[in-house]
Homo-oligomer: A and B are copies of this chain.
C-alpha cells in the first residue's frame, strides 16, 4: 500500500543562492570577500545583491566544505585580506548549478508598490518618489555606461547580452518615469 508515499520530494527546487554566484565569480578570478561585495555593487547591481553579513559567513562555510581555499595576504598600508580560490570540487559544484533548473526572478520593488497605490498618497509624495526614482535610475545607468566603456572589448557574448538588457531596461525605465512625472505635474 501507498507505494508512492514516504518522502517523495526528491525534485526540490534548490534555487540559486549566494554560494552559486560566489562560485561563478571565483571561476573567473580569485577574490576577497570585499572584492566580491564590490562586484555585487557594480557588475551585478541590477540583478543581484548580497550584504557582507551573507558574504563572509558563506565564504567560511564554502572553505570548510572544500569548495574554495583561503590564502591570507598581508598588505603594506592596508588591512590583511583573505583571497579565496576555487577548488576542483568547487568547479564541479558550479557546473552542477548550471545544469539545474532555471529559477524564477525574485523581485520586490518598493517603488512600484508605491506607484500602484499612488492614488492613496498626496500628489507631492508621488512626485517625490518619481524624482527619487529618476535619480536612482540615472545613477544605475551611469554605472552601466561606465562598465560598457571600460570592458566592452573583453566581454563575453552573453555578458554583452546581459549588459544590453541592463542598459536598455534602465533607459526605458528612465523614459517612463520622466513621462510619468511630467504627466502628473501638468
Residues of A within 8 A of B (CB): 15-16, 20-21, 24, 27, 43-44, 46-49, 94, 98-99, 102-121, 125-126, 129, 132-133, 136, 156-159, 161-162, 164-165, 168-169, 172-173, 176-177, 179-180, 183-184
Contact = CB atoms under 8 A, between A and B. Distances in A.
* Residue among A46, A102, A117 facing the most chain B CB atoms (10 A cut-off): A117
Contacts of A132: 102
B105 A121 contact: no
Contacts of A184: 157-158
A15 B110 contact: yes
Copies per assembly: 2
Given A16-B108, A104-B136, 11 more contacts: A24-B117, A98-B120, A105-B108, A106-B109, A112-B162, A118-B159, A118-B161, A158-B184, A161-B177, A161-B183, A164-B179
A117 B115 CA distance: 34
B106 A161 contact: no
